Chain A
């Protein structure tokens, strides 16, 4: 097993390198505007000498391949650069925002799993019952409703009917857990809606496939309780594709956190990114893109490793 994990870890290295190359390419080569020029223009200054000095200190002079390597070298030492806007190091600012984003994202993922798997299994077990049709229709609807539209409706009607608006001041979970949960519960749930829709459908089709297998009939025939049959034999055997699809939800969840952090004024990495785009805050953009990319790579790694646990055959391929 440890050999399998090591192998997967090794395979992730080129992916991470590819990600850094892409981020560098997009932000240093593709983008037609120069971040340093823009900062100086915004401050109303024009001083080529100072500009050159700033470039030098930021390590963004010289040929691009060398720039990339020196940037990579600084990343290795944990130096992600400085925010043009606040003047603080990007690492410090990220450390403040990552917990919020992770809390909302992981919470949504938990809600998704806890709600979608039981409904999906039930829907398959009672195939073509009224509740099955309800679950199937509901699943497509959950997927089809844009979460940001629901958020807009909640904000509009919340203020119209209940005189409610999302609090503007954010309470971190370690400061005031109750106030924090009140604040993040709604975005968490809205973020989970679309993955719930996707997962219900997948769980249902997978379970339907497994339920027809001979070993399930055998399990029933030898008198196992239905609950044991469904959890130990059916769900266990349909777990592999379910885990895959849960992993595939991570990019969607990330996209969702950007939207809901903006709508509900949560100080997470997503809003940090949107602010940085508006200010062309180069190093913040690089760091946030890398952060989200690494998160996806990490989640793929977790999915791969969990394959090894779920199905021992995978380890020896």
Chain B
């Protein structure tokens, strides 16, 4: 029942969506239950991310060992009660290493995507708002940026300058910045002509104020779901870099590096070593994609299939 009318006085009480949700579900979690009902697959993705992300965030609390502690009495073991994911060639606990690997990979990916989307949002809003030659130059620049062999340049630079979490974040962030600029810009271009924009200008709002207070909220949902999907892609890129040996330096565990050539001989003796890091990457990327799809459908049905 969206609204109620008092039978005696005839006064109408109009209630809005969120309030209904508040009434039915405690803790204001109504939107979550609605999301679960409307988008079960997206909700499953969210759950996977909460579990993996939670384990990664609280890694020291959920892991029973240290990621670099070796135990030569327990090398290359399969899953057991002491080591639920088994152990690697140095007797290190695989569960601990996978959780810490996810912590490193997810942390770098998150930071890189925040950087990428901040750049994309700024350029998209500025070029879309000002139009004219700013827009023309901006678009050409973005075309060029997209046309770069991104992973190749990252490998070259990391290979020559050495890897650290910061370099990885900056390089991967810059490499993934241009992908959503066009979408943000085109939304800004259409919003620019709305009446309330004119009203804001008539009230004497500065360009900066218009961009931050009026344009940013209009593109924010696009930034959010494109960030979700980009996160999936960036996790794969970071994992590939680790796999090729250009990720964070050891002994820091890295999901990609755990799968690469050096451990291959040992993986024959304990295939679990090859299994866990890959299945975690797959699950997380899968989850980000289904969640991104669901968010896009919920937040902006017009954009369905626009990616």
Say yes or no: A280 contacts B149, CB within 8 Å.
Answer: no
- Asked if A30 is at the interface of the complex by the 8 Å CB criterion, the answer is yes
- Asked if B236 is at the interface of the complex by the 8 Å CB criterion, the answer is yes
> Size range of the interface on B?
35 or more
Say yes or no: B147 contacts A145, CB within 8 Å.
Answer: no
Residues on B with C-beta less than 8 A from A278 are 159
Contact of B157 among A26, A143, A194, A209 (CB under 8 A): A26
Say yes or no: A208 contacts B305, CB within 8 Å.
Answer: yes
Contact of A289 among B153, B239, B278, B307 (CB under 8 A): B153
Within the complex, the shortest CB–CB distance from A7 to chain B, in Å, comes to 14
Within the complex, the shortest CB–CB distance from B204 to chain A, in Å, comes to 38
* A 193-224 binary contact with B (CB < 8 Å = 1; else 0): 01000000010011011000000000000000
- Asked if A178 is at the interface of the complex by the 8 Å CB criterion, the answer is no
Say yes or no: B161 contacts A149, CB within 8 Å.
Answer: no
Alpha-carbon gap, A208 to B304, bound state (A): 11
Contact of A146 among B159, B261, B281 (CB under 8 A): B281
- Asked if A285 is at the interface of the complex by the 8 Å CB criterion, the answer is yes
Residues on A with C-beta less than 8 A from B290 are 140
Contact of A145 among B148, B274, B275, B282 (CB under 8 A): B282
- Asked if A127 is at the interface of the complex by the 8 Å CB criterion, the answer is no
Main secondary structure of the interface of B (DSSP, over half): helix
- Among A88-115, those with CB < 8 Å from B are none
- Among B220-240, those with CB < 8 Å from A are 232, 236-237, 239-240
- Asked if B1 is at the interface of the complex by the 8 Å CB criterion, the answer is no
Say yes or no: B147 contacts A289, CB within 8 Å.
Answer: no
Number of interface residues of A (CB under 8 A): 54
Say yes or no: A148 contacts B156, CB within 8 Å.
Answer: no
Which of A71-79, A156-164, A179-187 lines the interface with chain B?
A156-164
Within the complex, the shortest CB–CB distance from B287 to chain A, in Å, comes to 8
Within the complex, the shortest CB–CB distance from B272 to chain A, in Å, comes to 11
Within the complex, the shortest CB–CB distance from A62 to chain B, in Å, comes to 22
Alpha-carbon gap, A30 to B161, bound state (A): 9
Say yes or no: A146 contacts B148, CB within 8 Å.
Answer: no
CB-nearest residue of chain B relative to A197?
A: B289
Say yes or no: B244 contacts A156, CB within 8 Å.
Answer: no
Alpha-carbon gap, A209 to B305, bound state (A): 9
- Asked if B210 is at the interface of the complex by the 8 Å CB criterion, the answer is no
Say yes or no: A22 contacts B148, CB within 8 Å.
Answer: yes
- Among B241-282, those with CB < 8 Å from A are 243-244, 256, 259-261, 264, 267-268, 271, 274-275, 277-278, 281-282
Say yes or no: A148 contacts B157, CB within 8 Å.
Answer: no
- Among B141-199, those with CB < 8 Å from A are 143-144, 147-153, 155-157, 159-161
- Asked if B35 is at the interface of the complex by the 8 Å CB criterion, the answer is no
Say yes or no: A149 contacts B282, CB within 8 Å.
Answer: yes
Residues on B with C-beta less than 8 A from A145 are 278, 282
Within the complex, the shortest CB–CB distance from A123 to chain B, in Å, comes to 13
Say yes or no: A255 contacts B281, CB within 8 Å.
Answer: no
Main secondary structure of the interface of A (DSSP, over half): helix
Alpha-carbon gap, A301 to B19, bound state (A): 54
Say yes or no: A273 contacts B156, CB within 8 Å.
Answer: yes
- Asked if B285 is at the interface of the complex by the 8 Å CB criterion, the answer is yes
- Asked if B65 is at the interface of the complex by the 8 Å CB criterion, the answer is no
Residues on B with C-beta less than 8 A from A18 are 144
Alpha-carbon gap, A22 to B148, bound state (A): 9
Say yes or no: B274 contacts A156, CB within 8 Å.
Answer: yes
Say yes or no: B274 contacts A140, CB within 8 Å.
Answer: no
Contact of B144 among A15, A152, A202, A263 (CB under 8 A): A15
Say yes or no: B268 contacts A160, CB within 8 Å.
Answer: yes
Within the complex, the shortest CB–CB distance from B48 to chain A, in Å, comes to 11
Residues on B with C-beta less than 8 A from A26 are 153, 156-157
Alpha-carbon gap, A31 to B160, bound state (A): 6
Contact of B147 among A205, A274, A296 (CB under 8 A): A296
- Asked if A1 is at the interface of the complex by the 8 Å CB criterion, the answer is no
Residues on B with C-beta less than 8 A from A52 are none
Contact of A144 among B149, B161, B264, B289 (CB under 8 A): B289
- Asked if A155 is at the interface of the complex by the 8 Å CB criterion, the answer is yes
Say yes or no: A255 contacts B148, CB within 8 Å.
Answer: no
Alpha-carbon gap, A22 to B275, bound state (A): 39
* A-B contact list, 5 entries, CB within 8 Å: A14-B144, A140-B286, A146-B281, A149-B278, A251-B148
Residues in chain B within 8 A of chain A (CB atoms) = 140, 143-144, 147-153, 155-157, 159-161, 232, 236-237, 239-240, 243-244, 256, 259-261, 264, 267-268, 271, 274-275, 277-278, 281-283, 285-286, 289-290, 304-305, 307
The 4 lowest CB-CB distance pairs between A and B, nearest first, are A205-B305, A277-B159, A149-B278, A255-B151
